[in-house]
Structure 1
Amino acid sequence: MSADRSFTLKAGNRAVLLLHGFAGTTEDVRELGENLAENGYTVHAPNFRGHGDEPAIFLKTTPEMWYEDAVAGYRQLEKDGYNEIAIVGVAMGGVFALKMAETFSPKAIVPLCANVNRKMRYIPIENYLTKQLKKQGIVEQEADQMLKNYLPEIDTMTEARATFYKNVARDIEKIHVPTMIGQGCQDEEIDADNANYIFKHIHTNDKQLCFYAGSGHDIVNDCEKDILEEDLIYFLDDLVWLEEKVV
Protein backbone atom coordinates (compact mmCIF):
# COMPACT_ATOMS: atom_id res chain seq x y z
CA MET A 1 0.00 0.00 0.00
CA SER A 2 1.28 3.45 -0.88
CA ALA A 3 2.07 6.15 1.66
CA ASP A 4 -0.69 8.51 2.75
CA ARG A 5 -0.96 11.38 0.26
CA SER A 6 -2.97 13.65 2.56
CA PHE A 7 -1.58 17.15 3.03
CA THR A 8 -2.11 20.20 5.22
CA LEU A 9 -1.12 23.76 4.36
CA LYS A 10 -1.33 26.14 7.34
CA ALA A 11 -1.86 29.71 6.30
CA GLY A 12 -4.48 31.43 8.44
CA ASN A 13 -7.43 31.17 10.82
CA ARG A 14 -9.91 30.38 8.06
CA ALA A 15 -10.00 26.69 7.17
CA VAL A 16 -10.89 24.75 4.03
CA LEU A 17 -11.40 21.01 3.81
CA LEU A 18 -10.39 20.10 0.25
CA LEU A 19 -11.73 16.83 -1.16
CA HIS A 20 -10.50 15.08 -4.30
CA GLY A 21 -12.58 12.98 -6.68
CA PHE A 22 -13.28 9.33 -7.33
CA ALA A 23 -10.24 7.24 -8.30
CA GLY A 24 -8.01 10.32 -8.02
CA THR A 25 -5.67 11.51 -5.28
CA THR A 26 -4.86 14.72 -3.47
CA GLU A 27 -2.32 15.50 -6.19
CA ASP A 28 -5.30 16.42 -8.37
CA VAL A 29 -6.21 19.26 -6.00
CA ARG A 30 -2.78 20.28 -4.72
CA GLU A 31 -2.44 23.31 -7.00
CA LEU A 32 -5.87 24.55 -5.90
CA GLY A 33 -4.88 23.96 -2.28
CA GLU A 34 -1.69 25.95 -2.71
CA ASN A 35 -3.66 28.81 -4.25
CA LEU A 36 -6.06 28.81 -1.29
CA ALA A 37 -3.12 28.86 1.12
CA GLU A 38 -1.54 31.77 -0.74
CA ASN A 39 -4.78 33.65 -0.12
CA GLY A 40 -4.73 33.05 3.62
CA TYR A 41 -6.71 29.83 3.99
CA THR A 42 -5.44 26.84 5.94
CA VAL A 43 -6.11 23.76 3.82
CA HIS A 44 -6.43 20.12 4.78
CA ALA A 45 -6.82 17.56 1.99
CA PRO A 46 -7.33 13.93 3.06
CA ASN A 47 -6.52 11.15 0.60
CA PHE A 48 -9.31 8.58 0.53
CA ARG A 49 -8.42 4.99 1.32
CA GLY A 50 -7.45 2.90 -1.69
CA HIS A 51 -7.11 5.90 -3.98
CA GLY A 52 -3.77 5.84 -5.74
CA ASP A 53 -3.23 2.18 -4.84
CA GLU A 54 -3.33 -0.82 -7.15
CA PRO A 55 -6.80 -2.07 -8.19
CA ALA A 56 -6.74 -5.06 -5.83
CA ILE A 57 -6.47 -2.68 -2.86
CA PHE A 58 -8.74 0.03 -4.27
CA LEU A 59 -11.58 -2.43 -4.94
CA LYS A 60 -11.63 -3.53 -1.30
CA THR A 61 -12.67 -0.04 -0.21
CA THR A 62 -16.16 1.47 -0.23
CA PRO A 63 -17.85 4.88 -0.58
CA GLU A 64 -18.66 4.74 3.13
CA MET A 65 -14.96 4.34 3.94
CA TRP A 66 -14.03 7.28 1.71
CA TYR A 67 -16.73 9.43 3.30
CA GLU A 68 -15.39 8.46 6.74
CA ASP A 69 -12.01 9.77 5.59
CA ALA A 70 -13.61 13.07 4.57
CA VAL A 71 -15.37 13.37 7.93
CA ALA A 72 -12.11 12.52 9.74
CA GLY A 73 -10.47 15.40 7.87
CA TYR A 74 -13.20 17.75 9.05
CA ARG A 75 -12.79 16.52 12.63
CA GLN A 76 -9.03 16.99 12.41
CA LEU A 77 -9.47 20.65 11.51
CA GLU A 78 -11.87 21.06 14.42
CA LYS A 79 -9.35 19.36 16.72
CA ASP A 80 -6.70 21.79 15.48
CA GLY A 81 -8.87 24.68 16.65
CA TYR A 82 -10.72 25.74 13.48
CA ASN A 83 -14.33 26.47 14.35
CA GLU A 84 -15.41 27.60 10.88
CA ILE A 85 -14.62 25.27 8.02
CA ALA A 86 -15.58 25.58 4.37
CA ILE A 87 -15.65 22.40 2.29
CA VAL A 88 -14.48 22.42 -1.33
CA GLY A 89 -15.00 19.13 -3.15
CA VAL A 90 -14.29 18.04 -6.70
CA ALA A 91 -16.57 15.46 -8.39
CA MET A 92 -17.13 12.75 -5.75
CA GLY A 93 -15.52 15.12 -3.26
CA GLY A 94 -18.31 17.54 -4.13
CA VAL A 95 -20.88 14.84 -3.37
CA PHE A 96 -19.19 14.37 0.01
CA ALA A 97 -19.32 18.13 0.60
CA LEU A 98 -23.06 18.06 -0.03
CA LYS A 99 -23.57 15.12 2.32
CA MET A 100 -21.52 16.81 5.03
CA ALA A 101 -23.69 19.93 4.67
CA GLU A 102 -26.74 17.69 5.14
CA THR A 103 -25.24 16.38 8.39
CA PHE A 104 -22.93 19.04 9.82
CA SER A 105 -22.83 22.85 9.76
CA PRO A 106 -19.84 23.87 7.66
CA LYS A 107 -19.17 27.54 6.99
CA ALA A 108 -19.95 26.96 3.32
CA ILE A 109 -19.62 24.32 0.62
CA VAL A 110 -18.30 24.37 -2.93
CA PRO A 111 -19.28 21.29 -4.96
CA LEU A 112 -17.47 21.23 -8.31
CA CYS A 113 -18.75 18.91 -11.06
CA ALA A 114 -20.68 16.93 -8.44
CA ASN A 115 -22.91 14.09 -9.64
CA VAL A 116 -26.16 14.06 -7.65
CA ASN A 117 -28.88 14.26 -10.28
CA ARG A 118 -31.18 11.25 -10.14
CA LYS A 119 -30.53 10.78 -13.87
CA MET A 120 -27.01 9.64 -13.15
CA ARG A 121 -24.36 8.61 -15.63
CA TYR A 122 -20.63 8.39 -15.23
CA ILE A 123 -17.62 6.74 -16.79
CA PRO A 124 -17.41 3.04 -15.80
CA ILE A 125 -14.97 2.08 -13.07
CA GLU A 126 -13.12 -0.10 -15.59
CA ASN A 127 -11.92 3.06 -17.36
CA TYR A 128 -10.29 4.35 -14.19
CA LEU A 129 -8.67 1.00 -13.47
CA THR A 130 -7.35 0.76 -17.03
CA LYS A 131 -5.60 4.11 -16.58
CA GLN A 132 -4.14 2.95 -13.27
CA LEU A 133 -2.85 -0.30 -14.77
CA LYS A 134 -1.35 1.61 -17.68
CA LYS A 135 0.54 3.83 -15.24
CA GLN A 136 1.95 0.66 -13.69
CA GLY A 137 3.27 -0.43 -17.10
CA ILE A 138 0.87 -3.35 -17.51
CA VAL A 139 0.24 -4.19 -21.17
CA GLU A 140 -3.28 -3.98 -22.58
CA GLN A 141 -3.89 -7.72 -22.96
CA GLU A 142 -2.81 -8.46 -19.39
CA ALA A 143 -4.84 -5.49 -18.10
CA ASP A 144 -7.98 -6.76 -19.85
CA GLN A 145 -7.62 -10.15 -18.17
CA MET A 146 -7.06 -8.55 -14.79
CA LEU A 147 -10.22 -6.49 -15.18
CA LYS A 148 -12.22 -9.61 -16.04
CA ASN A 149 -10.99 -11.17 -12.83
CA TYR A 150 -12.08 -8.06 -10.92
CA LEU A 151 -15.61 -7.93 -12.39
CA PRO A 152 -17.46 -9.03 -9.21
CA GLU A 153 -15.66 -6.36 -7.14
CA ILE A 154 -16.23 -3.76 -9.86
CA ASP A 155 -19.96 -4.51 -9.94
CA THR A 156 -20.16 -4.26 -6.14
CA MET A 157 -18.38 -0.90 -6.11
CA THR A 158 -20.50 0.43 -8.98
CA GLU A 159 -23.72 -0.37 -7.14
CA ALA A 160 -22.44 1.00 -3.83
CA ARG A 161 -21.33 4.23 -5.46
CA ALA A 162 -24.67 4.76 -7.22
CA THR A 163 -26.60 4.09 -4.00
CA PHE A 164 -24.45 6.52 -2.03
CA TYR A 165 -24.92 9.31 -4.59
CA LYS A 166 -28.68 8.76 -4.80
CA ASN A 167 -29.00 8.97 -1.02
CA VAL A 168 -27.22 12.34 -1.09
CA ALA A 169 -29.58 13.53 -3.81
CA ARG A 170 -32.57 12.38 -1.75
CA ASP A 171 -31.57 14.53 1.25
CA ILE A 172 -30.21 17.55 -0.62
CA GLU A 173 -33.04 19.81 0.61
CA LYS A 174 -31.49 19.62 4.09
CA ILE A 175 -28.69 21.95 2.96
CA HIS A 176 -28.95 25.50 4.34
CA VAL A 177 -25.35 26.77 4.22
CA PRO A 178 -23.85 29.21 1.67
CA THR A 179 -23.05 27.30 -1.50
CA MET A 180 -21.05 27.94 -4.66
CA ILE A 181 -21.74 25.37 -7.37
CA GLY A 182 -19.15 25.04 -10.14
CA GLN A 183 -19.63 23.06 -13.34
CA GLY A 184 -17.63 22.55 -16.54
CA CYS A 185 -19.82 22.74 -19.64
CA GLN A 186 -17.53 20.27 -21.45
CA ASP A 187 -17.76 17.70 -18.65
CA GLU A 188 -17.24 14.33 -20.30
CA GLU A 189 -18.40 12.33 -17.28
CA ILE A 190 -21.59 13.87 -15.97
CA ASP A 191 -24.40 15.95 -17.39
CA ALA A 192 -23.94 19.62 -16.60
CA ASP A 193 -27.60 19.64 -15.51
CA ASN A 194 -26.40 18.19 -12.19
CA ALA A 195 -25.39 21.74 -11.24
CA ASN A 196 -28.89 23.01 -11.98
CA TYR A 197 -30.34 20.18 -9.89
CA ILE A 198 -28.21 21.15 -6.89
CA PHE A 199 -28.99 24.84 -7.26
CA LYS A 200 -32.72 24.19 -7.49
CA HIS A 201 -33.03 21.79 -4.56
CA ILE A 202 -30.77 23.16 -1.80
CA HIS A 203 -32.57 25.32 0.77
CA THR A 204 -30.38 28.38 1.07
CA ASN A 205 -30.75 31.87 -0.32
CA ASP A 206 -26.99 32.32 -0.33
CA LYS A 207 -26.14 30.28 -3.41
CA GLN A 208 -24.50 30.86 -6.74
CA LEU A 209 -24.12 28.80 -9.88
CA CYS A 210 -20.97 29.16 -11.96
CA PHE A 211 -20.60 27.51 -15.37
CA TYR A 212 -17.20 27.31 -17.10
CA ALA A 213 -17.72 27.07 -20.84
CA GLY A 214 -14.41 25.48 -21.82
CA SER A 215 -13.83 23.18 -18.85
CA GLY A 216 -14.35 19.44 -18.52
CA HIS A 217 -14.70 17.16 -15.51
CA ASP A 218 -11.21 17.91 -14.18
CA ILE A 219 -12.36 21.46 -13.68
CA VAL A 220 -9.66 22.51 -11.18
CA ASN A 221 -6.88 21.72 -13.67
CA ASP A 222 -8.56 22.71 -16.92
CA CYS A 223 -8.25 25.77 -19.14
CA GLU A 224 -10.33 28.03 -16.88
CA LYS A 225 -8.74 27.04 -13.58
CA ASP A 226 -7.49 30.58 -12.96
CA ILE A 227 -11.01 31.98 -13.37
CA LEU A 228 -12.40 29.26 -11.11
CA GLU A 229 -9.80 30.02 -8.44
CA GLU A 230 -10.65 33.73 -8.57
CA ASP A 231 -14.37 32.97 -8.25
CA LEU A 232 -13.71 30.60 -5.35
CA ILE A 233 -11.53 33.06 -3.43
CA TYR A 234 -14.08 35.82 -3.98
CA PHE A 235 -16.86 33.55 -2.68
CA LEU A 236 -14.89 32.54 0.41
CA ASP A 237 -13.67 36.06 1.15
CA ASP A 238 -17.23 37.34 0.97
CA LEU A 239 -18.36 35.09 3.83
CA VAL A 240 -18.60 36.60 7.30
CA TRP A 241 -15.80 34.82 9.18
CA LEU A 242 -15.15 35.02 12.88
CA GLU A 243 -11.56 36.16 13.24
CA GLU A 244 -10.75 33.81 16.08
CA LYS A 245 -7.18 32.86 16.84
CA VAL A 246 -6.52 29.17 16.31
CA VAL A 247 -5.15 27.42 19.36
Structure 2
Amino acid sequence: MKICFRKGTSVMNHPSIIQGAEAFHLKGNDVGILLCHGFVGTPQSMETIGRKFAAKGFTVRAPRLTGHGTDPYDFEKATYHDWITDLEENYLELKKTCSQIFVVGQSMGGLLALIIAGRFKDIAGVITLNVAYEVPGLEMYRNKISPRFIEESAPDIKNKNVHEITYPYIPITAINELLSVAQYTKQHIHQVECPVLLFRSSVDHVVPPESTNDAYDQLQTTQKEIITLTNSYHVASMDYDNEKIINDSVTFISKTTRQQGQVPCLI
Protein backbone atom coordinates (compact mmCIF):
# COMPACT_ATOMS: atom_id res chain seq x y z
CA MET A 1 0.00 0.00 0.00
CA LYS A 2 1.34 3.40 -0.96
CA ILE A 3 0.82 6.09 1.67
CA CYS A 4 0.60 9.68 0.51
CA PHE A 5 0.66 12.81 2.65
CA ARG A 6 -0.06 16.34 1.59
CA LYS A 7 3.17 18.22 2.21
CA GLY A 8 2.54 21.88 2.90
CA THR A 9 5.32 24.42 2.76
CA SER A 10 5.81 27.83 4.26
CA VAL A 11 8.58 30.38 4.50
CA MET A 12 12.01 29.04 3.46
CA ASN A 13 10.43 25.67 2.56
CA HIS A 14 9.85 24.67 6.16
CA PRO A 15 6.84 22.35 6.55
CA SER A 16 3.69 24.22 7.42
CA ILE A 17 2.34 23.88 10.95
CA ILE A 18 -1.10 22.33 11.33
CA GLN A 19 -3.61 24.95 12.41
CA GLY A 20 -4.03 24.76 16.19
CA ALA A 21 -0.72 22.95 16.75
CA GLU A 22 1.33 26.09 17.37
CA ALA A 23 3.50 26.72 20.42
CA PHE A 24 2.11 29.16 22.96
CA HIS A 25 3.30 31.42 25.78
CA LEU A 26 1.07 32.91 28.49
CA LYS A 27 2.66 35.60 30.64
CA GLY A 28 2.06 35.54 34.40
CA ASN A 29 4.12 35.73 37.58
CA ASP A 30 7.75 34.72 38.08
CA VAL A 31 6.97 31.02 38.59
CA GLY A 32 7.16 29.36 35.19
CA ILE A 33 5.41 26.24 33.96
CA LEU A 34 7.14 24.61 30.98
CA LEU A 35 4.73 22.21 29.28
CA CYS A 36 5.92 19.41 27.02
CA HIS A 37 3.53 17.42 24.84
CA GLY A 38 3.96 13.76 24.03
CA PHE A 39 4.97 11.63 21.06
CA VAL A 40 2.93 12.49 17.93
CA GLY A 41 1.13 15.18 19.95
CA THR A 42 1.36 18.97 19.79
CA PRO A 43 1.05 21.92 22.20
CA GLN A 44 -2.71 21.69 21.57
CA SER A 45 -2.80 18.64 23.85
CA MET A 46 -1.45 20.81 26.69
CA GLU A 47 -3.59 23.87 26.05
CA THR A 48 -6.38 23.04 28.50
CA ILE A 49 -4.07 22.61 31.47
CA GLY A 50 -1.86 25.43 30.21
CA ARG A 51 -4.70 27.93 30.37
CA LYS A 52 -5.70 26.64 33.78
CA PHE A 53 -2.16 27.06 35.08
CA ALA A 54 -2.16 30.58 33.63
CA ALA A 55 -5.46 31.31 35.39
CA LYS A 56 -3.68 30.48 38.66
CA GLY A 57 -1.16 33.23 37.90
CA PHE A 58 1.75 31.22 36.50
CA THR A 59 3.74 32.03 33.38
CA VAL A 60 3.18 29.16 30.94
CA ARG A 61 5.23 28.14 27.92
CA ALA A 62 4.47 25.20 25.61
CA PRO A 63 6.90 24.55 22.75
CA ARG A 64 6.21 22.41 19.69
CA LEU A 65 8.78 19.62 19.42
CA THR A 66 10.68 19.13 16.17
CA GLY A 67 8.73 17.10 13.60
CA HIS A 68 5.43 17.41 15.46
CA GLY A 69 2.38 19.28 14.21
CA THR A 70 3.58 19.39 10.59
CA ASP A 71 3.60 16.17 8.55
CA PRO A 72 4.91 12.60 8.89
CA TYR A 73 7.78 13.24 6.46
CA ASP A 74 9.04 16.03 8.69
CA PHE A 75 8.55 13.76 11.73
CA GLU A 76 10.67 11.10 10.03
CA LYS A 77 13.72 13.39 10.12
CA ALA A 78 13.49 14.24 13.84
CA THR A 79 15.72 12.70 16.50
CA TYR A 80 15.32 12.50 20.25
CA HIS A 81 18.34 14.78 20.55
CA ASP A 82 16.28 17.42 18.71
CA TRP A 83 13.48 17.02 21.24
CA ILE A 84 15.80 17.36 24.23
CA THR A 85 17.34 20.46 22.67
CA ASP A 86 13.89 21.92 22.00
CA LEU A 87 12.94 21.63 25.65
CA GLU A 88 16.30 22.87 26.91
CA GLU A 89 16.14 25.97 24.73
CA ASN A 90 12.62 26.77 25.91
CA TYR A 91 13.66 26.24 29.51
CA LEU A 92 16.50 28.74 29.09
CA GLU A 93 14.13 31.20 27.42
CA LEU A 94 11.60 30.89 30.25
CA LYS A 95 14.38 31.30 32.79
CA LYS A 96 14.97 34.85 31.53
CA THR A 97 11.74 36.01 33.19
CA CYS A 98 11.01 33.35 35.84
CA SER A 99 12.83 32.74 39.12
CA GLN A 100 11.52 29.18 39.47
CA ILE A 101 10.45 26.74 36.78
CA PHE A 102 8.45 23.52 36.94
CA VAL A 103 8.48 21.21 33.92
CA VAL A 104 5.26 19.32 33.14
CA GLY A 105 5.44 16.51 30.59
CA GLN A 106 2.79 14.28 29.04
CA SER A 107 3.98 10.74 28.12
CA MET A 108 7.23 11.20 26.14
CA GLY A 109 7.19 14.79 27.36
CA GLY A 110 7.61 13.37 30.86
CA LEU A 111 10.79 11.62 29.75
CA LEU A 112 12.15 14.86 28.32
CA ALA A 113 11.21 16.71 31.51
CA LEU A 114 13.18 14.21 33.61
CA ILE A 115 16.17 14.43 31.27
CA ILE A 116 16.52 18.20 31.45
CA ALA A 117 15.87 18.17 35.21
CA GLY A 118 18.91 15.93 35.52
CA ARG A 119 20.96 18.43 33.54
CA PHE A 120 19.69 21.70 35.04
CA LYS A 121 19.81 21.44 38.81
CA ASP A 122 17.96 24.74 39.27
CA ILE A 123 14.72 23.29 37.89
CA ALA A 124 12.32 23.52 40.84
CA GLY A 125 10.31 20.39 40.13
CA VAL A 126 8.95 17.96 37.54
CA ILE A 127 5.39 16.78 36.97
CA THR A 128 4.79 13.80 34.67
CA LEU A 129 1.53 12.58 33.17
CA ASN A 130 1.63 8.88 32.24
CA VAL A 131 5.36 9.00 31.61
CA ALA A 132 6.42 6.74 28.72
CA TYR A 133 9.11 4.94 30.70
CA GLU A 134 7.92 1.67 29.19
CA VAL A 135 5.98 1.37 25.92
CA PRO A 136 5.58 -2.39 25.41
CA GLY A 137 3.17 -1.98 22.49
CA LEU A 138 5.94 -0.47 20.36
CA GLU A 139 8.79 -2.82 21.25
CA MET A 140 8.10 -4.93 18.14
CA TYR A 141 9.44 -2.04 16.04
CA ARG A 142 12.75 -1.66 17.86
CA ASN A 143 15.67 -1.51 15.39
CA LYS A 144 13.31 -2.15 12.46
CA ILE A 145 13.43 -0.10 9.26
CA SER A 146 10.24 -1.35 7.64
CA PRO A 147 7.45 -0.74 7.14
CA ARG A 148 8.36 2.91 6.63
CA PHE A 149 5.08 4.09 8.19
CA ILE A 150 2.53 2.45 10.46
CA GLU A 151 -1.05 3.51 10.99
CA GLU A 152 -1.67 5.51 14.15
CA SER A 153 -4.64 4.55 16.31
CA ALA A 154 -7.09 7.08 17.69
CA PRO A 155 -5.80 9.13 20.66
CA ASP A 156 -6.38 7.31 23.96
CA ILE A 157 -8.80 9.77 25.59
CA LYS A 158 -11.81 8.72 27.65
CA ASN A 159 -13.69 11.94 26.91
CA LYS A 160 -14.93 11.35 23.36
CA ASN A 161 -15.87 15.01 22.94
CA VAL A 162 -12.19 15.95 22.87
CA HIS A 163 -10.14 16.01 19.67
CA GLU A 164 -6.35 15.77 19.69
CA ILE A 165 -4.23 16.87 16.74
CA THR A 166 -2.00 13.94 15.68
CA TYR A 167 -0.83 12.18 12.52
CA PRO A 168 -2.72 9.37 10.74
CA TYR A 169 0.56 7.52 10.18
CA ILE A 170 3.83 7.37 12.14
CA PRO A 171 7.30 6.79 10.65
CA ILE A 172 9.04 3.78 12.13
CA THR A 173 12.17 5.90 12.55
CA ALA A 174 10.27 8.13 14.97
CA ILE A 175 9.11 5.12 16.98
CA ASN A 176 12.73 4.10 17.39
CA GLU A 177 13.59 7.61 18.56
CA LEU A 178 10.88 7.29 21.22
CA LEU A 179 12.30 3.94 22.35
CA SER A 180 15.78 5.49 22.38
CA VAL A 181 14.76 8.46 24.52
CA ALA A 182 13.08 6.08 26.97
CA GLN A 183 16.33 4.11 27.21
CA TYR A 184 18.32 7.33 27.61
CA THR A 185 16.04 8.41 30.45
CA LYS A 186 16.57 5.11 32.27
CA GLN A 187 20.32 5.60 32.03
CA HIS A 188 20.19 9.13 33.46
CA ILE A 189 17.17 9.23 35.77
CA HIS A 190 19.45 8.94 38.81
CA GLN A 191 20.64 12.49 38.05
CA VAL A 192 17.25 14.00 38.91
CA GLU A 193 17.47 15.69 42.32
CA CYS A 194 14.39 17.94 42.35
CA PRO A 195 10.93 16.98 43.66
CA VAL A 196 8.87 14.91 41.21
CA LEU A 197 5.10 14.41 41.07
CA LEU A 198 3.99 11.52 38.86
CA PHE A 199 0.39 11.16 37.68
CA ARG A 200 -0.75 7.81 36.28
CA SER A 201 -4.10 6.78 34.84
CA SER A 202 -5.53 3.59 36.29
CA VAL A 203 -6.61 2.66 32.74
CA ASP A 204 -4.09 3.51 30.01
CA HIS A 205 -4.12 1.70 26.66
CA VAL A 206 -0.76 3.12 25.54
CA VAL A 207 1.54 3.18 28.55
CA PRO A 208 0.75 0.73 31.38
CA PRO A 209 0.46 2.23 34.90
CA GLU A 210 3.47 0.10 35.85
CA SER A 211 5.57 2.42 33.67
CA THR A 212 5.07 5.21 36.20
CA ASN A 213 5.83 2.80 39.04
CA ASP A 214 9.14 1.85 37.40
CA ALA A 215 10.14 5.50 36.95
CA TYR A 216 9.20 6.23 40.56
CA ASP A 217 11.32 3.32 41.82
CA GLN A 218 14.37 4.47 39.83
CA LEU A 219 14.19 8.12 40.93
CA GLN A 220 16.82 8.87 43.57
CA THR A 221 15.15 12.02 44.88
CA THR A 222 13.46 11.57 48.26
CA GLN A 223 10.72 14.02 47.30
CA LYS A 224 8.57 11.98 44.94
CA GLU A 225 4.89 11.09 44.85
CA ILE A 226 2.48 9.13 42.65
CA ILE A 227 -1.15 10.21 42.19
CA THR A 228 -3.61 7.93 40.38
CA LEU A 229 -6.18 9.34 37.94
CA THR A 230 -9.35 7.25 37.87
CA ASN A 231 -11.31 9.00 35.11
CA SER A 232 -8.76 9.48 32.33
CA TYR A 233 -6.92 7.39 29.77
CA HIS A 234 -3.43 8.05 28.36
CA VAL A 235 -3.74 11.67 27.21
CA ALA A 236 -4.66 12.82 30.71
CA SER A 237 -3.90 16.47 29.98
CA MET A 238 -7.03 16.56 27.77
CA ASP A 239 -9.22 14.15 29.71
CA TYR A 240 -11.76 14.28 32.53
CA ASP A 241 -9.17 14.53 35.31
CA ASN A 242 -7.48 17.70 34.03
CA GLU A 243 -8.94 19.75 36.90
CA LYS A 244 -7.54 17.28 39.43
CA ILE A 245 -4.18 17.48 37.69
CA ILE A 246 -4.21 21.27 38.09
CA ASN A 247 -5.31 21.25 41.73
CA ASP A 248 -2.81 18.59 42.82
CA SER A 249 -0.06 20.22 40.78
CA VAL A 250 -0.69 23.62 42.36
CA THR A 251 -0.49 22.00 45.80
CA PHE A 252 2.82 20.38 44.79
CA ILE A 253 4.17 23.64 43.37
CA SER A 254 3.13 25.66 46.43
CA LYS A 255 4.71 23.14 48.79
CA THR A 256 7.91 23.00 46.76
CA THR A 257 8.29 26.76 46.43
CA ARG A 258 7.78 27.19 50.18
CA GLN A 259 10.47 24.60 50.88
CA GLN A 260 12.78 26.43 48.48
CA GLY A 261 12.16 29.74 50.21
CA GLN A 262 9.63 31.34 47.85
CA VAL A 263 5.87 31.67 47.90
CA PRO A 264 4.13 31.78 44.51
CA CYS A 265 1.58 34.50 43.94
CA LEU A 266 -1.57 32.60 43.01
CA ILE A 267 -4.83 34.08 41.81
TM surpasses 0.5: yes
Letter in 1 for 2:115: K
Letter in 1 for 2:226: L
Shift of 1:129: 8.4
Instruction: Give the direction of change, closer, same or farther, for the CA distance of 1:55–1:214 in structure 2 (3 Å limit).
Output: same
Aligned position for 1:242: 262
Describe the SS at the equivalent of 1:238: helix
- The answer to whether 1:193 aligns with 2:227 is no
CA distance, structure 2, for counterparts of residue 178 and residue 130 of structure 1: 33
Aligned position for 1:167: 184
Asked if structure 2 preserves the Cα contact closer than 8 Å seen for 1:85 and 1:107, the reply is yes
TM-score, normalised with respect to structure 1: 0.83
Asked if structure 2 preserves the Cα contact closer than 8 Å seen for 1:122 and 1:189, the reply is no
Describe the SS at the equivalent of 2:152: helix
Describe the SS at the equivalent of 1:61: coil
- The answer to whether 1:2 aligns with 2:35 is no
Structure with bigger helix share is: 1
Shift of 1:190: 0.9
Letter in 2 for 1:68: T
* Long gaps (5+) in structure 1: 137-142
Aligned position for 1:89: 105
CA distance, structure 2, for counterparts of residue 213 and residue 114 of structure 1: 16
Q: Kindly report the root-mean-square deviation, in angstroms, between the aligned alpha carbons of the 2 structures.
A: 2.6
Aligned position for 1:108: 125
Aligned position for 1:220: 237
- The answer to whether 1:210 aligns with 2:227 is yes
CA distance, structure 2, for counterparts of residue 129 and residue 54 of structure 1: 16
* Long gaps (5+) in structure 2: 1-14, 142-148, 156-163
Asked if structure 2 preserves the Cα contact closer than 8 Å seen for 1:23 and 1:128, the reply is no
Asked if structure 1 preserves the Cα contact closer than 8 Å seen for 2:254 and 2:264, the reply is no
Instruction: Give the direction of change, closer, same or farther, for the CA distance of 1:155–1:122 in structure 2 (3 Å limit).
Output: closer
Q: Which residues of 2 match residues 59-74 of structure 1 at below 5 A?
A: 59-74=76-91
Aligned position for 1:139: none
Instruction: State the number of aligned residues.
Output: 226
TM-score, normalised with respect to structure 2: 0.77
> Which of 128, 150, 162 is residue 126 of structure 1 equivalent to?
150
Letter in 1 for 2:119: T
CA distance, structure 2, for counterparts of residue 198 and residue 156 of structure 1: 24
Letter in 1 for 2:41: G
CA distance, structure 1, for counterparts of residue 105 and residue 264 of structure 2: 25
Q: Which moved more, 1:230-239 or 1:34-43?
A: 230-239
CA distance, structure 2, for counterparts of residue 5 and residue 75 of structure 1: 19
> Which of 209, 220, 230 is residue 247 of structure 2 equivalent to?
230
Describe the SS at the equivalent of 1:164: helix
> Which of 60, 63, 68 is residue 51 of structure 1 equivalent to?
68
